[in-house]
Amino acid sequence: MRSSYLNLLNPRPGNREGDWRYPSARPRVRLVKAFETPFSNVVSTARTCYSSKGIIADQDPLEDRWKELAQDLYQAGHHTTFQHAHFEFAIENVSRQFLWSFLHSHPFYNSEQVSQRYVPVKPGQFVVPDLDEVSDGIYRATAEMQMEAYKRLCETLHPVVAKEYYRRFRNRGEEHDKHEKNVNKKAMEMARYVLPVATFAYLYHTVSGITLLRYARLCDQPDCPTEQREVVRSMIDELLQWDSGYAAVLERPMELEDLPESTWCGGIDTASVNRARAFVREFDSGMKGSFSTLVGWSNGAEALLADAVREVVGRSRAEISDSEAISLALDSARNRVLGESLNLTTHSKLCRALFHPHYNFRKRISHTADSQDQRHRMTPASRPVLAAHYTGEPDFITPEVFAESGECLDSYRDAMRKSWAGINALLERGVEPEKALYLLPNGAAVRFTESADLLNLRHKHAMRLCYNAQEEIWRASVEEALQIREVHPLIGAYLLPPCGHRESAATKPYCPEGDRYCGIPVWRLDLKDYQRVI
């Protein structure tokens, strides 16, 4: 089974089976938890649908008739039977680029990964692609410069962050040593913007059987197909060693040439750079310096929501006005479900009325902020092929804290300038964009459109309007909530951080963060008065 699947993932002539040519550490993938008989479960769940004898126990999936049934279900698109079995993988030595572009680009997974906000990055921990000697020297020198800039910024940002931290927590200055670790973490959070997206991560990643099959089919897409193929190959190898039955339905990966974006997204040359610059100018002209701009929303959203609430409880407009209906759904003082730490809204009959209003935002945020933003899997986005956006010019987000120190700002901008210089030098030598763009820094700007229904956007804002949220996503969320207030004031009034919802619901303590309390009684502030530096 192992060699046959490797052939599927290496369909091109001359591509040796399982050959990881990159000189950096090979991705390591281990299956650590799984259903005992996952492929058998596909058959037994399918047969139960048509059983007059009750629940069907697991069957031998290698028996021809059950194997044929599984294949028939797969080809017909009846894939819920493949969704029951889940697989938990421990994954190491993979890039942040791979996580952003592939592993976390869809909603059907769960991951717990090492945080660059709270765990220092060690030197040399990054992907190095296979390059000629001169290009390899340029690549390594640029990545090592980024690592050194990160280390230097962690140090120079420390007093800047400390000043702001102890201004916010005035009583903590007396226990300086106790809180230094928090200052260090805040400094790391900002310094990480200079790290390359090639930086290694490790994580637990859990997916269903059908998601693994989708990985296998689409692993050859941009932005980093070499790494994607290697990791997916390893995941499927682990799967087949656990249960060889899945070989009956595995498909060959789709060729890049068969994907629609391949027609428009090729290499990087003068023409592509000029197109990217025109696109960026056009996109940014409508952003007006914001991280997130509201560009679309449901017509009559407030009336739509009010009608849906009335439908749930079976009342007319004469009994429940629009404002009262919206309050019933969104005001934590009346809807105590919203004051719970456990997110219950999808399971609440009344809260499901929030599914109907929709909002669309055009966003320009950093690669690292978007890596966290995309973890809100129910507010999906159409994220770009990065090579198609490459302008050849430094194009990055600057965290607010850098404005507090000329030395830090100069150091940050210098690291960014050198990052793009390194990438351009590689591209000029003919290095493929897949390899050169591993040197994009975390702070590189990413442009896309994100959409959400009100139920899931409300939950996202309840998490990201918190002062403990990553600073850039926090700013984008504040902008979004304020813009919704303008078009839908009845709805916008209830977009609040967790402490705001808990205060309305009389749930104490108002801040659910415990020792991580941000130091500001945010529940007393109006959204337009929100301010923070770190």
Residues facing residue 29 across a β-bridge? 91
Is 247 strand, coil or helix? Answer: helix
User: Domains in the chain and their CATH numbers?
Assistant: 2-118+200-263 (3.30.1360.170), 133-197+403-440 (no CATH)
Q: What is the pLDDT along the chain (534 residues), one digit of tens a residue?
A: 344 455 555 544 444 445 689 999 999 999 999 999 999 999 999 989 888 889 988 766 556 788 888 899 999 999 999 999 999 999 999 999 999 999 999 999 999 999 999 999 999 999 999 999 999 999 999 999 999 999 999 999 999 999 999 888 876 765 677 788 889 999 999 999 999 999 999 999 999 999 999 999 999 999 999 999 999 999 999 999 999 999 999 999 999 889 998 888 888 999 999 999 999 999 999 998 999 999 999 999 999 999 999 999 999 999 999 999 999 999 999 998 998 889 999 999 999 999 999 999 999 999 999 999 999 999 999 999 999 999 999 999 999 999 999 999 999 999 999 999 999 999 999 999 999 999 999 999 999 999 999 999 999 999 999 999 999 999 999 999 999 999 999 999 999 999 999 999 888 899 999 888 998 999 999 999 999 999
**For residues 5 and 233, is the Cβ–Cβ distance under 8 A?**
yes
| Whether the Cβ atoms of residue 126 and residue 196 lie closer than 8 Å to each other | yes
- Interior angle at CA 291, CA 287 and CA 296, nearest 5: 60
pLDDT of 18 reads 59
Could you tell me how many residues make up the chain?
A: 534
The pLDDT value recorded for residue 7 is 57
Amino acid at 42: V
Please state the three-class secondary structure of 133-157 as a single string.
HHHHHHHHHHHHHHHHHHHHHHHHH
Whole-number Å distance between alpha carbons of 98 and 221: 11
Spell out where 200-299 has E strands.
200-208, 292-297
Helix-strand-coil percent breakdown of the chain, rounded to 5? 55, 10, 35
CB 100 within 8 A of CB 437: no
User: Whole-angstrom Cα distance, residue 339 to residue 133?
Assistant: 59
